[in-house]
Structures are given as C-alpha cells and as structure tokens.
Structure 1
Amino acid sequence: MSKDFFIVVFINNKYHDRTYDKGEINMSINHNVKKFLLVTAILFPAVEFVGSGVQSASADDKKTLNLVEKSDPTTVDVNDVRNANEFDILNATQEGLFRINSKNGKDKLELAGAKSYEVSEDGLTYTFHLRDSKWSDGKAVVAQNYVDSALRELNPKNGFAYATLGYDIKNAEAYNTGKAPASSVGVSAPDKKTFKITLAHPTENFLKKYSNVAFYPVRLDLINKQGNKKWKTDWKDQVSNGAFKITQWKTDDKIVLTKNKKFWNNKQVKLNKVKYITTEKSSTVSSLLQSGQLDSVVASGTDALNYKKAAKSSKVNVKSQLGSGTNLLVFNQKTGGTQGLLKNAKIREAISLAINRTKYNKVLSDGQEQPAKGYIPGSVTVGTTNYRKSAGNILAQSEKEYNSSAKLKKLFQKGLKELGKSTDLSKVKLVFLTTNDSSDDADLISYLKQEFKDELGVTVKASSQSDTASFVSKRDKGNYDLLSNGWYGDYNDPETFLSLWSSNNGFQRFFGGYKSDEYDKLFATLQNTKDTKQRLQIYEQLEKILVSKDFGVAPTTVPKTKVFTSSSVKGLQTPVFGPTYNYVYAYKK
C-alpha cells in the first residue's frame, strides 16, 4: 500500500502498501514511509438536538471518534484504492469477505461479509457463503457484487493498480493483459449467496491477498450509471455495506462518517460518528495530544519522540508496535532520468551506497527509526521464521567493498563510461522531484545535497512542484532522477513487498519503472512453490537481485511504531498490516 496518509496519518508524509503515490495520493512520503502518524482527535465536541431533548457534549463525545488526515483521499472507489488514507476510510465504509482482527501485535483474518467458506482438496476452488447483509440503500449484497468487483479490478481498460493481486485466479492475468475474455476468469455466483473462485494454481496466501479492499463488492448498476471518473470521488452517489457511510465531505476540511443502520452487525457498532479533520499542521496534533483531546496517535520517527513527551501530561497509554513499511529512494529507470544516467546499475549502486544509513537515520529521524538492512522490514515472517533475521543485511558486503568516497566515485565513473558519458563528476546534476509543501523532502534533499557532494562529487538539485498535478505530470513524463517514496505491506508475507517490483505491477509507475527479466522469471516460480523453506529461499534471492545486484531501489530506513491511545478508548485496533485503524467495534468509556 502506498504510503501517503496522515490520519493524521502523517507519514511524515508518504505513500500504505498502503504507498503513497506521491503525486496522485499526494503522498509526499518523506524519506520515511514515513513516520506516519495517525491521529484520532476530539476536535470539536458538539451539542446535538435529538427529538425534543438536548444531548450533552460529553454524551455525544462518547459516541464520536475524531481522526485527522493530512490530505483528502484521491478516491473512494474500492477497486481504485492505492493509499493509506483511502484504505482506512474504505475499510470502515465497505466490507469484504474478511476483516483484519488485530490483538497484541498479531493480525488474523476473521469472517465478515462471508459467514463460512470451504476450500477444495486440491486447493483450487474457494466457495464462500455470504451473510444476509444489505447496502446502505437497502438492497441486498449478493454474490454477483463480488464477481463484478473482481472483473472490474482486472479489466485492462481500468488500469487499477492492485489488479495483479488477483493473478492467482484462473485466467485473471490473461484477461488483465488482453489475452482472454472476462467470461474465462475463475469467478462465479452459482446463486445469490454463493461466491466461487477457481484458482490457476494452489496459493498459500490467497485469502490474505483477497481480503484486500480492492476486491470488496461493488454496485455495478450505480457505477455504470455514474461512470468510473465520477464514481471515484462523488461520495454522494456511493453506497456502503460496511459499518459506516460517508455523510459529509468538505475538501481540505473534514470527512464525516455516520453509523450505517443497514450494516448487518450494526447493533454491535457503538460509535455513531467518525470525523476526519484534514490538516497538515503537526503542531496541532501535538497540542491536542498534550491537552488530552486526542483519542489515539500512531507515530514513528521524531514524531513518536515528540508525542511521547506530550503524552506525559495526559491520560494516554503508550505501546510499541512493529512497523510494516520501508522508506525508499526511488530511481527513474523508466527513462533513465534527466541525463539518462539511472538506467546504469553501477551508478544506482554508487548512489545507494553513498547513503550512510546510520547517519541518515540520526540526521533525519533523530535516530528514532532503524537503518534499513534490506527492503523487507523486520515485522515480516515466512511461516515461523523472521524474514529479516534469516536474510540478514544484504547491503553489508557492498558497503564493505565500497567503503570510501574514492571507491564510490570510481564506481560512479565506471557507470558513466559504460554509458559513453563524460566521467567529470562535477558535471553530473541529479534532479530530486518533490512538492513545495513537503517539509520532509526538504530535509532529505538538504541531506542528500551534502552527502552526495562529499561522497560522489555530484550535485543534487530540487525540482519543487507547486501542486500535486504538476508533480504527477513531471513524474509520469520521467522529468526527474530521484524521488522519495515508501511501501507498507498489505499482509504478513514478503510477497506483498516483492510483487511491487514485478514489471507488470500496477504500482511501478510510482516507483521508477524497474524491470528485470531475471526478477520476473524468478518471481513467477512462486506460483507453483508451496514449501515454506523453498519460498523463503526465493524471497531472499529476489530481494538480493532488487537491492544488492540491480540496485533497483535504495531502502533507507524502517519506521519503529509507537501507538498513543487515550485510556478512555476501548476496542480500537491498529493492525500491523493493512489499514492503520480498525475502529468498527471501538467505543469510548
């Protein structure tokens, strides 16, 4: 998931593989996927009139959860979901077959829209039996809604980023790449309450993948009436099958969710409203926490340090939680960048190794994050094996080999020579694409300017765009060399990180356009590999190809998460993977 969310989810602004597509999701993901912080705040207690009586502010407060987002979602279309803030809102307003239940730092799937399911002995057929549930307009949720969602997600004309997540389904990839008709895809509705999926091959993590918001059911009758473009943002025409529904949205101001009385389990939903206030001012968050007006803040980096100090003066419980993301320096490999340099692996290697990750962490995050030892964070496991501990520091050997400025400069010059370019490093100017309102990127650019001048002898120049549209235009045209991004895993397995770099992945346009036949072929072998140890070996090989052979991306830091929650809030979940919050059954005492 792309990172950009500031519920305050501020990842210090980044994309929630929640990635953040910087431009489209306005993710500015600061060098960190960033210290994201989520904030649940009680900003404007109100007095409401109910019937002939007056409800007190304190009573209303106990039924209202107020959250803060740094920016507005770019879509409320489940099939088009990309960013963390979108996942958070859609996870509350819509419901799929499963929901993530998180306790004590452990995530597990629990039945939601499905009341039961069976898997065939050969592992190829999944049959889901649906609950008796309704959309907010009173119409029944039926199996065809799930079929329509799958086919719409995979429709090549739509270009949805998460389409590749469904490639385990029979003929899904062929349909998405224009090689087979929609009718051949392995999804069907034998009756209104039965949804059947036929896979192309047994898939170990299929349920984890298919629990993604991108495959939640849709109302194709309404979408066809409004059109994809309008449906994407016109919340007034949306219908919900989740615990809440959007009832108000004022751009750059607030989004209000109200309890959905048609939700199948509405009697167990104790909150009446969830209010998202949109603000970019982190000082506001700190003040609210210090005054005891915030219900919850999820933060990393310097924000976690600052909020820990502020929390001392209020009734706030603090806990540590494993982070599920990695901050990245992205290389423009699609066009090679402004001087065509980034297509060369030696130049990318020199740039990646010029980053002293320990120093980077201290300078940019006050030492509050972890220097990256690879791309996949330490929270990820394969079976019972911690992936990071098994794979180790995959950059260590290269860092040892090129342990001086002189060696790094020679490596960069070798790359220039391979490209037929001048080896005069003083003539190299790397353009870092950002937006004017990204203070995180400003700190990062300042750091890289000095670091790359000292270690590589090259110049870094910022290309600051005035708005998101300008950023996206520059990015999509390839008018940059470097940009900051990050990725948060959708589920607990290395595949959710490594699939991002497959050349057919819909997110590649946000991550520089890395393409490797070797990587693609090896990644494809996962389809027919069920043995856990073999999958672990393949994952480790893939990560090494990406990070320490091709240097297709430069991991920088891994956020460490702190969760600050008011003692009055109960049942509020903060999953390690997936949505930042699960507050469907939360309540306040």
Structure 2
Amino acid sequence: MTKFLATTALVAVLSLPVYAAQPAEGEKLAEDQSLSFWILDAIKTLDPQLTESRTDSDMIRQLFEGLMTQDDTGAMVPGMAESHDISDDKLTYTFHLRDAKWSNGDPVTAGDFVYAWRRAADPETASEYAWFVELMNLENATAVVKGEASPEELGVTAIDDKTLEVKLSKPTPYFLKTLDHATTYPAPQKVIEEHGQQWTQPGNLVGNGAYVLKSHDLGVKATAVKNDQYYDAENTIIDEVNFITVNDQNIALTRYQAGEIDWFNLIPAGQYPKLKEEFPDEAISVPWACSYGYVFNLSEKGPEALKDLRVRQALSYAIDRDIIVDKVLQGGQKPAYYWTHWAMEGFEEPEIEMANWTQPERMEKARELLTEAGYGPDNPLKLKLMYNTSEDHKKIAIAVQQFWKAIGVELTLENYEWKVFVDKGNNQDFEVQRYAWCADYNEASTFLDWFRTDGDNNGMWSNEEYDQLLADAATEENPAENYKKMEQLLIGDMALAPVYHYAQPNMIKPDLRGVPLDNVMGDWYAKNLYRVAE
C-alpha cells in the first residue's frame, strides 16, 4: 500500500508512486476493456462543485481527480499532489502538484484548485455542498459561504503553478480524508467561462481524470473514454466506461444476466441469498458506509404532529428493523438504532436505549406515546411519507406503512423521481422523507455534520449542545466520545428514525478485476480495474 507523505514543513518532499491497475502474474488481459456500470437514477450534474449525488460522484470521479485519491482499501494515496507538508501547528498544508494536464492539453495548476474551492464556497455558485468547505475548516470558510467575506479570502492560495497552500481555521485530523471529494476537485476556469452551464456537455467538458466524457443520453447512458492526456494513461487499462441508468433494479438484474451490465451494485431486496447460491463467484456483499432512515420535517412547513417528541419516538419505535433487513432486504444490511455507519474508521457504538428492547416492547411504548400525544381511534395520526423511485424504497415504505398502521397511524406514500424528490427535500416540502447518507470521507463526522444547525439536514433539527460537541470534535485526537454523545442527543430527540446500515450486495462479472471490495466507502476508479481473458 502506498503511503501519502505527512510531514512538518522542515522535512524534504518526496515523490511517491501512484496507485494503478495491477494485473496479477500470469493473468492475460481480455481484448475488450470496456466497463458497463449500473446506476439507479439519471445523472443530475457532472459539475464537481454542484453535485450532491452519489450517482453523479461515481462518474465525476472518472472525469476529474483531486489532490488525493484512494487505494483499494480506502487509504488516501497521491492524486494530483505528489506529496504535501504540514506545519507544526497543523494549520497550514502545502501541496506539491505533479506534472499533469487537462484533457485539452493545458497544464493542471494550483490555481485550478484555488478557483474550484472559491467557486464551491461562493454563494453565487449556489452549491448544495458549500457547507463541505466549512467542514474542511478552511480559513474564513463560514464567512465566505454566508456572503460575509469575498471568495478571495478563503484559506487557499497558489504559491506558484505547482504549489498549493491551504490554511485551516483549526487543526482538523480528518482534513486529508476530505481531499478526494468531488467538491475539492479542480475546475477549468477558462472552459467554464466560455461555455457557462453547458461546460459539462460532451465535447465541452474538460477534465483532469483518467477519462473524458464522450456522450451522455440523459437517463439512459453516459460514456467516458480513456483520456490520453492523463498523467498515468499508460497504466490505465479500462478504455471505456459506460454508466447505464435503469430505474428498476429487477430489470437491471435481467440486463446484468444478459451481459449488458458488468457491475450491478444493488441487488434487489430479497434476492441476494438465492443469487449467492447460484452465482457464488459473482454475488458479493460488503459493508458500505451509508445509513438509511426517515427524516422528520421539523421546520415551519412540517406538520404540527411531528413537533411532539412523543410522536417521533412512537414512529421510530414501531419500525421493525429486523424484518426489514432479514425479510425484506436480505443483503447483509444491519438494523440501525443510531445514524453513523458502524464500520466508519474509529467509530465506537453509542448506547441507545431502544436498541436493547424487544420489538414487542417498542410497539407497546409506541402505542402508549401516541395515546399520550392525543392520538387514537377517534383522532388518528395522518402522515405522508415521501420516497424516490426504487422498488426497494417502495418495499420498505410499504412495510413501514404496515408497522405504523399497527399503532394507529394512517400513512400515505408519495413516490417522486429523483430530481423532484431532491428539490422537495431541500425545500422542506414533505412531512416524512426517506433519506440515506453515504460518507464523504471515512470518519464519523461525515454523518453527524448533516445534522448541524447550519448544516444541510432537510428536517431542520437543531441542538446547540450537539453543535458544540461537533465543533469540539474537530480538534480532538480521539473524538469518539463526542460522537457517542451526539448520537445520543440525535436519537434522544428523534431527529430521524434510523432504519438500517447499508451493505452493498453486488453482482460482478467474474472477468472483472480490481473492484475495491475492502473499501467501506464504496469509492472506485475505473483506472484501477481491468478485465481478464476467460
């Protein structure tokens, strides 16, 4: 495993090898080195500073590259930066960029990162991920994001074309882990200014990643081909990557079995055990750093009933998580009684009271709480639950509808396509929302930051003690205790009803090598994959 240099400013800078596809001795490469990867929803944007979607990010990762990337275990390794230095006070990071080019032949410079990071933080960009720049603790980030300071005051400077200086507002142990997130990728200012919103269209898009966009039929297929300008193109084996959009997972499975899809990473609920038995070398389930739950709208737009803690507790208690993971999903998922995924690096499980009860005990408490809150046969609680198009989401929502019916709740299910679903969530135009969060980096704060008062949580929950614990955790050498307390506050006030922690039940063609199954983040790079001759 390649280690990324972390030193004081007094230590000499070293150049480190890049992480690339590494066929095993004796393996013969297949003639066809294309890859077809399934995605559930249409790609919303390929703009690194505007995306907020896991689906988008999987494609963007092929087209752009940040200061750092990951190896197949999720460890941080060199990307655009060959190395870096850290000042003794841990507030200044100096990155030394490798010789690299954009796909149009222009050199990648430190200024491209400065432009991108300022662009992400600038309120005029209206990035849904502007908060990520704050989470990185860049100097002046909050003031810039709020429009109280100019983007030029953000703590990032190009010392010269090959040297990027980053200043933090406080020591941040997880900072380096944020540098493979799309928000931090460089952006080609000249191209953006020339094409405006159309800059990410095929023929216009200029990237610095291993691939360049060839075509994009929205909601059907996007194709990227090998970028010959990429600094490690000679070690890039996969020469074409296709992202195939199929909204129905059952149809996607059929297309996988027909050979139209090579990697399908979300087997339909309930089908994994049978597929594992039939195709033991292709059906593989691994932990995946995402958590699934139901967010309660606590904003002024939300229903009055949900302002009552007893109601939120009752709704959460009534969800039989064991049935959902063991009977509905059956893909290696685990019941969730807290928000952070259990497999995050350094995370310690919090003590959550309801996790120790039996389901009959939870149901009894749920009925008692609803009665105390004034609901019953003569005054039933009526709610609407919003989810995005997916057979799995639908199955889980129907199960929850039955769980809640058992305690006297009349639940109406509302299904929306992805873009509408996202917009409604961002605008608090819902009552209860199906939500999942996938980690942006391998540390618990990526989950917990979503519920920060001025963070991005759609339900608009707020707690000052929680905010302070999160702020303090950023400088703790071991913030695990803070995270435990935050989870207890989050669940104590039932800001959401956690349902399950993800696993990723995959179907992977047996000739495809290099899929990073040991990376709990689920991040992957086609440049590290290859196909062998059968």
Per the TM superposition, whether the score is higher than 0.5 is: yes
Q: Give the superposition deviation at 1:171.
A: 0.8
TM-score of the superposed pair, with normalisation by structure 1: 0.79
437-446 or 218-227, which deviates more: 437-446
TM-score of the superposed pair, with normalisation by structure 2: 0.87
Answering whether residue 428 of structure 2 is matched by residue 482 of structure 1, we say: no
- In 1: Cα distance, 2:228 partner to 2:295 partner: 45
Does the CA contact (< 8 Å) of 1:166 and 1:210 recur in 2? Answer: no
In structure 2, the residue matched to 1:443 is 395
Answering whether residue 263 of structure 2 is matched by residue 335 of structure 1, we say: no
Q: Give the superposition deviation at 1:158.
A: 2.4
In structure 2, the residue matched to 1:428 is 381
Q: Kindly provide the CA deviation profile for residues 295-348 of structure 1, in whole angstroms up to 9, marking residues without a partner as x.
A: 434346534334324425xxx3554422211111111112363x4211222211
Q: Give the superposition deviation at 1:235.
A: 3.7
Answering whether residue 286 of structure 2 is matched by residue 321 of structure 1, we say: yes
Aligned pair partner of 1:387 in 348, 372, 375: 348
Q: Kindly provide the CA deviation profile for residues 87-121 of structure 1, in whole angstroms up to 9, marking residues without a partner as x.
A: 1111111111111111xxx3201101111111111
In structure 2, the residue matched to 1:206 is 175
- In 2: Cα distance, 1:118 partner to 1:469 partner: 41
Does the CA contact (< 8 Å) of 1:97 and 1:114 recur in 2? Answer: yes
C-alpha change, 1:293 and 1:449, in structure 2 (3 Å) is closer
Aligned pair partner of 1:73 in 43, 53, 60: 43
Aligned pair partner of 2:117 in 142, 150, 153: 150
1:381 is paired with a residue of what secondary structure? coil
Q: Give the superposition deviation at 1:224.
A: 2.6
Answering whether residue 222 of structure 2 is matched by residue 255 of structure 1, we say: yes
In structure 1, the residue matched to 2:445 is 495
Does the CA contact (< 8 Å) of 2:62 and 2:526 recur in 1? Answer: yes
- In 2: Cα distance, 1:367 partner to 1:188 partner: 46
Does the CA contact (< 8 Å) of 1:445 and 1:460 recur in 2? Answer: no
Q: Give the superposition deviation at 1:423.
A: 6.4
2:328 partner letter: L
In structure 2, the residue matched to 1:129 is 96
2:142 is paired with a residue of what secondary structure? helix
C-alpha change, 1:473 and 1:211, in structure 2 (3 Å) is closer
- In 1: Cα distance, 2:51 partner to 2:80 partner: 19
C-alpha change, 1:177 and 1:213, in structure 2 (3 Å) is same
Q: Kindly provide the CA deviation profile for residues 103-151 of structure 1, in whole angstroms up to 9, marking residues without a partner as x.
A: xxx3201101111111111111110111111111111111100001111
Does the CA contact (< 8 Å) of 1:126 and 1:197 recur in 2? Answer: yes
Q: Give the superposition deviation at 1:527.
A: 3.1
Answering whether residue 495 of structure 2 is matched by residue 543 of structure 1, we say: no
- In 2: Cα distance, 1:579 partner to 1:135 partner: 26
- In 2: Cα distance, 1:318 partner to 1:281 partner: 19
C-alpha change, 1:297 and 1:499, in structure 2 (3 Å) is same
In structure 1, the residue matched to 2:474 is 527
2:372 is paired with a residue of what secondary structure? helix
C-alpha change, 1:145 and 1:404, in structure 2 (3 Å) is closer
Q: Give the superposition deviation at 1:207.
A: 0.4
1:528 is paired with a residue of what secondary structure? coil
1:329 partner letter: Y
Q: Give the superposition deviation at 1:159.
A: 2.9
Query: How many positions carry a matched residue from both structures?
Result: 502
Does the CA contact (< 8 Å) of 1:100 and 1:575 recur in 2? Answer: no
In structure 1, the residue matched to 2:52 is 82
1:218 partner letter: A
Answering whether residue 522 of structure 2 is matched by residue 585 of structure 1, we say: no
1:118 is paired with a residue of what secondary structure? strand
Aligned pair partner of 1:264 in 209, 231, 236: 231
1:145 is paired with a residue of what secondary structure? helix
1:452 partner letter: W
Q: Give the superposition deviation at 1:287.
A: 3.6
In structure 2, the residue matched to 1:9 is none
C-alpha change, 1:497 and 1:470, in structure 2 (3 Å) is closer
Does the CA contact (< 8 Å) of 2:83 and 2:96 recur in 1? Answer: yes
Q: Give the superposition deviation at 1:569.
A: 2.1
- In 1: Cα distance, 2:371 partner to 2:292 partner: 27
In structure 1, the residue matched to 2:367 is 409
Does the CA contact (< 8 Å) of 2:140 and 2:169 recur in 1? Answer: yes
- In 2: Cα distance, 1:572 partner to 1:483 partner: 32
Does the CA contact (< 8 Å) of 1:171 and 1:200 recur in 2? Answer: yes
1:518 is paired with a residue of what secondary structure? helix
- In 1: Cα distance, 2:225 partner to 2:359 partner: 58
1:150 is paired with a residue of what secondary structure? helix
In structure 2, the residue matched to 1:62 is 32
Q: Give the superposition deviation at 1:450.
A: 2.1
- In 2: Cα distance, 1:428 partner to 1:317 partner: 45
- In 2: Cα distance, 1:425 partner to 1:192 partner: 71
2:187 partner letter: V
Does the CA contact (< 8 Å) of 1:431 and 1:463 recur in 2? Answer: yes
Structure 2: which 5+ runs fail to align? 1-27
- In 1: Cα distance, 2:285 partner to 2:419 partner: 37
Matches within 5 A, 1:278-289: 278-289=245-256
1:395 partner letter: M
- In 2: Cα distance, 1:213 partner to 1:224 partner: 20
Q: Give the superposition deviation at 1:379.
A: 1.0
In structure 1, the residue matched to 2:3 is none
Q: Give the superposition deviation at 1:380.
A: 1.3
Q: Give the superposition deviation at 1:210.
A: 2.5
Q: Kindly provide the CA deviation profile for residues 460-508 of structure 1, in whole angstroms up to 9, marking residues without a partner as x.
A: 112344x455545654554432121111112221111101111222x32
- In 2: Cα distance, 1:126 partner to 1:375 partner: 31
In structure 2, the residue matched to 1:516 is 463
Q: Give the superposition deviation at 1:412.
A: 2.3
Q: Kindly provide the CA deviation profile for residues 337-380 of structure 1, in whole angstroms up to 9, marking residues without a partner as x.
A: 3x421122221111111112212333422474221132122211
In structure 2, the residue matched to 1:171 is 140
Q: Kindly provide the CA deviation profile for residues 41-82 of structure 1, in whole angstroms up to 9, marking residues without a partner as x.
A: xxxxxxxxxxxxxxxxx9985221122222221000001121
Structure 1: which 5+ runs fail to align? 1-57, 417-421
2:413 partner letter: A
Matches within 5 A, 1:354-373: 354-366=318-330, 368-373=332-337
- In 2: Cα distance, 1:248 partner to 1:226 partner: 17
- In 1: Cα distance, 2:125 partner to 2:518 partner: 30
1:387 partner letter: E
- In 1: Cα distance, 2:263 partner to 2:394 partner: 28
- In 1: Cα distance, 2:258 partner to 2:488 partner: 47
Q: Give the superposition deviation at 1:216.
A: 0.5
C-alpha change, 1:172 and 1:195, in structure 2 (3 Å) is same
C-alpha change, 1:216 and 1:569, in structure 2 (3 Å) is same
426-435 or 127-136, which deviates more: 426-435
Identity of aligned residues (%): 24
In structure 2, the residue matched to 1:15 is none
In structure 2, the residue matched to 1:10 is none
Q: Give the superposition deviation at 1:586.
A: 1.6
In structure 2, the residue matched to 1:8 is none
Q: Give the superposition deviation at 1:183.
A: 2.6
Does the CA contact (< 8 Å) of 2:248 and 2:390 recur in 1? Answer: no
C-alpha change, 1:305 and 1:336, in structure 2 (3 Å) is farther
- In 2: Cα distance, 1:468 partner to 1:573 partner: 27
Matches within 5 A, 1:547-566: 547=491, 549-566=492-509
